[in-house]
Amino acid sequence: MAKTTGKATRKSAAAAKAGAKGERAAADPVAVMLDLVAEQGWRAVTLGRIAQASGLPLSALYGQYVSKTDLLTAYVRRIDLAMLAALGEPGPAPADAAAVKDRLFEAVMARFDALNPHKAAIRVMMRELPGDPLALACFLHRGLRQGLDWMLAAADLDAGGLSGALRRKLLGGIYLDTLRVWLKDDGTDMATTMAHLDKRLEQALGLLTGRGPISRLREKSTAAA
């Protein structure tokens, strides 16, 4: 009986160990990848290291993600979802250019809030991804384009057609310029980042909304009346 009990105990311990490994595997390979990138650099991190640090066999990792770029795509999508969740339900259409600016400001800052936990990894990727064109295209072009469309949507601005392409290009330039400021901004309140973003949005607001300085003055006069 004691021998049987010993076997049962060993089986229970093995099951507990397997269960613990399963819990680790169910942790997040995307987050693991970002932590490894922050520590070791983008080029040094392999799928094998990601699998090992995640507690996953390579076959299980392959079942979820087929490449590092695929993991990066998943991360970019999560950032978009976090941004949209922070913005909440869309309200009425903005009444004027100032309201459009406020919504764009909130959308961009919500995205930076979502990026904050992995700023160290993003710093590394901004340095190293130019050496990996496919990953760079995923991170800055394909992923960013989708994010820009949703940021414009949050401000009730159309991203379609030629005017939408212009808006996307303008907002993309503002976002990337502000991203460089954000990467150097270690303040907990991100005051430097917010000030820079506010200034850049104000400069481009006429082109983003189709409401130039004259029409905006009219709006202010109408509101004052």
Task: Please give the average per-residue pLDDT across 28-42, as a whole number.
Answer: 96
Q: Are 149 and 159 in contact (CB under 8 A)?
A: yes
pLDDT band at 17 (very low <50, low <70, confident <90, very high): very low
Sign of CA dihedral 100, 102, 108, 113: negative
Tell me the average pLDDT across 205-219: 64
Q: Is the pLDDT of residue 215 over 70?
A: no
156: exposed, middle or buried (C-beta count within 10 Å: 0-12, 13-18, 19+)? middle
Pairwise CA distance, residues 89 & 87, whole Å: 7
Entry pTM: 0.79
| Res 41: pLDDT | 96
pLDDT of 191-200, one tens digit each? 999 999 999 9
pLDDT band at 59, cuts 50/70/90?
very high
Average pLDDT over residues 77-84: 94
Percent of the chain beyond pLDDT 90?
A: 61
Residues 123-168: tens digit of each pLDDT: 999 999 999 988 888 877 777 888 999 999 999 998 888 888 999 9
What local confidence, expressed as pLDDT, does residue 197 receive? 97
Please tell me the distance from the alpha carbon of residue 215 to that of residue 131, in angstroms, as a whole number. Answer: 45
Rounded to an integer, the average pLDDT of 99-110 is 95
Q: For position 14, what pLDDT does the model report?
A: 47
Instruction: Extract long-range pairs of 93-96: CB within 8 Å, 24+ residues apart.
Output: 93/156, 94/155, 94/156, 96/211, 96/216, 96/219, 96/223
For the chain, the average pLDDT equals 84
Q: Name which of 3-7, 88-92, 156-160 the model is least confident about.
A: 3-7
133-146 burial code (b ≥16 CB/10 A, e <16): eebbebbbeebbee
Which pLDDT score, from 0 to 100, does residue 214 have?
A: 40
- Using the predicted structure, report yes or no on whether residue 21 has a pLDDT greater than 60: no
Higher pLDDT, 127 or 25: 127
Is the predicted pLDDT of residue 62 greater than 90, yes or no? yes
